[in-house]
Amino acid sequence: MNGKPPIAASAAPQRPQDGRTAAADAPAASPEAGLAADTDADAAADADEREDWWSFTKFVLKVVVVVLVFRTFLFAPFTIPSESMLPALWKGDYLVAAKWPYGYSNLSMPFQAPLLPGRVLEALPERGDVAIFKHPIDGTDYIKRVIGLPGDTVEMRGGRVSINGQPVAQELVREFDLPLSANTQCVRGGFEVETSRGTACRYRMARETLPSGRAYTVLDFGATPQDDFGPLIVPRDRLFVMGDNRDNSQDSRFAAAPGGGVGLVPTDRLVGRASMVLWSTDGSAEWIKPWTWFTATRWDRIGEGL
């Protein structure tokens, strides 16, 4: 031993006394790395937003397709703008019509697109059907009751209809009271009365029963020139139609004219068969007064079958 103290090994670096770690000695993240992370996050957000819009667009397209299929092949809504079909249908009624009973044509397609050759699954109406058709001249939607089919001989004498020489049974049943409103008026043949529901117009009502046994009610205002008609043989591919409000209806008793009579209706103008009243309003509702939407509703007519 030479008496010299041993040489000590190199000491490890000391940790800072204030508790900080040596991480501060690690290299700092570059600005480029932070920018790349932000870019990835923005791209992911944009992708999610595009996916949300595409999902919403697909949903809307599916709804549109379902609605178009429903309206084209099953049911379609229509409104009643006049009183020619009283007492079955009132002005202000919103009804649904079945599209399949008479087959399909271009008139069944959205915007009447020329997609079908002729009429597909064609079928004639039955006597007594309430049919919706396009006016032979101006193309307006009309609604009338089918009385005569191709080959039938139709005649009217003194307001009584005959089909193929057989008078249609008609009997007075009771009076019909039509509540007066913005959508209804009292015209010739009726008179105003006070009822539990307010002022109404009272008409004479009768029940007609076709040879098939099918029955419906009609209104008669008394003697009018159109109470005598025919006889007329309904040609092939034509229909003889009448309004239930016999003295207030432009129907097959009148020559086809824009906004007027319909003449003999071609079967290829058929659109559908009226089925049920979905909604009805007396015309007193105002858009700026939402509560009137309910007070104007004729609740007792909703669901009325035809």
pLDDT in tens, 104-154: 888 877 777 777 777 888 899 999 999 999 999 999 999 999 999 999 999
Q: Which tokens hold the place of 302?
A: 């909703």
Instruction: Determine which one of 144, 249, 252, 280 is catalytic.
Output: 144
Residue 93, in any domain of the structure: yes
E strand segments, 135-269: 141-148, 153-157, 160-163, 166-167, 169-179, 191-195, 198-209, 215-219, 229-233, 238-242, 265-266
**What is the DSSP-derived secondary structure letter of residue 7?**
P
Based on the number of CB atoms within 10 Å of its own CB, is 125 exposed (0-12), middle (13-18) or buried (19 or more)? buried
Fill in the DSSP letter of residue 226: G
**Whether the Cβ atoms of residue 149 and residue 127 lie closer than 8 Å to each other:** yes
- Is residue 18 assigned to a domain? no
Tracing tokens 């006597």 back to the chain, one arrives at 127
pLDDT at 43: 64
In the predicted model, is pLDDT for residue 180 greater than 80? yes
Which residue would you say has higher pLDDT here, 98 or 73? Answer: 98
Band (pLDDT 50/70/90 cuts) for residue 45 is low
Q: How many domains does the chain have?
A: 1
Q: Which structural domain, as residue segments, surrounds residue 182? A: 71-301
Residue 133 lies in a domain: yes
Of the given ranges (59-68, 93-102, 265-274, 276-285), which has the lowest mean pLDDT? 59-68
Which pLDDT tens digit goes with each residue over 181-212? 999 989 888 899 999 889 999 999 999 999 99
Average pLDDT, the chain: 84
Weakest-pLDDT range from 3-12, 46-55, 158-167, 282-291: 3-12
| Residue 41's pLDDT band (cuts 50, 70, 90) | low
Mean pLDDT of 57-76: 73
Does 306 map to a domain?
no
Domain assignment present for residue 22? The answer is no
Tokens (6 digits) for 68: 């178009």
Residues 6+ apart with CB under 8 A from 183: 90, 91, 92, 281, 282, 283
Least confident of 24-38, 75-89, 286-300: 24-38
Residue 50 domain flag: no
Helix (H, G, I), strand (E, B) or coil at 22: helix
* Strand locations in the chain (E): 75-79, 93-98, 130-134, 141-148, 153-157, 160-163, 166-167, 169-179, 191-195, 198-209, 215-219, 229-233, 238-242, 265-266, 270-280
Residue 58 a catalytic site member: no
Does 289 qualify as catalytic in the annotation? no
Please report the pLDDT score of residue 174 as a whole number.
Answer: 86
pLDDT of 266 higher than 70: yes
Rounded Cα gap, residues 211 and 1, in angstroms: 143
* Separation of alpha carbons 279 and 3, rounded Å: 118
Q: Is residue 259 domain-resident? A: yes
- Which of 177, 218, 182 lies closest to 199 in space, CA to CA? 177
CB 272 within 8 A of CB 121: no
Considering the domain boundaries, does residue 83 fall inside one?
A: yes
CATH number at residue 196: 2.10.109.10
pLDDT value for 54 = 77
